[in-house]
Structure 1
Amino acid sequence: MNVKKISKKISNATAIPSILDSAGIEFIPINTVDWEKDYPYKPKVEFRIAHTNDAILIHYRVEEKSSRAKYGEDAGHVWTDSCVEFFSAPGGDNIYYNLECNCIGTILLECGPSRQGREMASPEIMKKVLRWSSLGHKTFDEKIGKSRWEVALVIPYEVFYKHHITSLDNTLIRANFYKCGDELQTPHFLSWNPIKTDSPNFHCPEFFGELYFES
Structure 2
Amino acid sequence: MKKLTILPITSNLTGRLNFNQLSDLVADFEWNTLPHSNWSESYPYQPEVRFKIGYTEKELIVQFDVAEEQLRGNYSEANQNVWEDSCVEFFISFDDRKNYYNIEFNLIGTGLIGYGSPDKATRNRLSAAEIETVQTFSLIERHSGTDKHWTMIQVIPLAVFKFNDTRDLKGKTIHGNFYKCGDNLKQPHFVSWNKIDNPTPNFHLPQFFGELIFG
TM-score, L = length of structure 2 = 0.91
Selected match of 1:103 from 87, 103, 107: 107
SS of structure 2 residue aligned to 1:66 = coil
Change (3 A) 1:152 1:4: same
- Report what 2:208 is aligned to: 207
Q: 1:113 & 1:193 partners in 2: Cα distance?
A: 19
Selected match of 1:129 from 134, 137, 141: 134
Q: 1:54 & 1:108 partners in 2: Cα distance?
A: 20
- Report what 1:19 is aligned to: 25
- Alignment of 1:51 onto 2:55: yes
Selected match of 1:64 from 63, 68, 89: 68
- Report what 2:13 is aligned to: 10
Deviation at 1:127, TM superposition (A): 1.4
Q: 2:135 & 2:82 partners in 1: Cα distance?
A: 17
- Report what 1:158 is aligned to: 159
SS of structure 2 residue aligned to 1:67 = coil
SS of structure 1 residue aligned to 2:24 = helix
Q: 2:145 & 2:159 partners in 1: Cα distance?
A: 38
- Report what 1:87 is aligned to: 91
Q: 2:140 & 2:22 partners in 1: Cα distance?
A: 16
Contact 1:66 1:144 in 2 (8 A): no
- Alignment of 1:33 onto 2:46: no
Contact 1:158 1:164 in 2 (8 A): no
Q: Which runs of 5+ in 1 are unaligned?
A: 137-142
* Counterpart AA for 1:46: R
Contact 2:87 2:105 in 1 (8 A): yes
Q: 2:177 & 2:127 partners in 1: Cα distance?
A: 23
Deviations 1:71-93 (A, max 9, x none): 11111100000000000002446
Contact 2:90 2:179 in 1 (8 A): yes
* Counterpart AA for 1:3: I
Contact 1:13 1:154 in 2 (8 A): no
Deviation at 1:17, TM superposition (A): 1.2
Across the aligned residues of Structure 1 and Structure 2, the Cα RMSD in angstroms comes to 1.8
Change (3 A) 1:93 1:42: closer
Change (3 A) 1:19 1:200: same
* Counterpart AA for 1:189: F
Q: 1:82 & 1:115 partners in 2: Cα distance?
A: 25
Report the count of equivalent residues.
Answer: 206
- Report what 2:198 is aligned to: 197
Contact 1:172 1:212 in 2 (8 A): yes
SS of structure 1 residue aligned to 2:54 = strand
Q: 1:44 & 1:63 partners in 2: Cα distance?
A: 5
Deviations 1:83-115 (A, max 9, x none): 000000024461100000101111100001014
Contact 1:85 1:101 in 2 (8 A): yes
Deviations 1:33-86 (A, max 9, x none): 111100111110000001111111100000001110001111110000000000
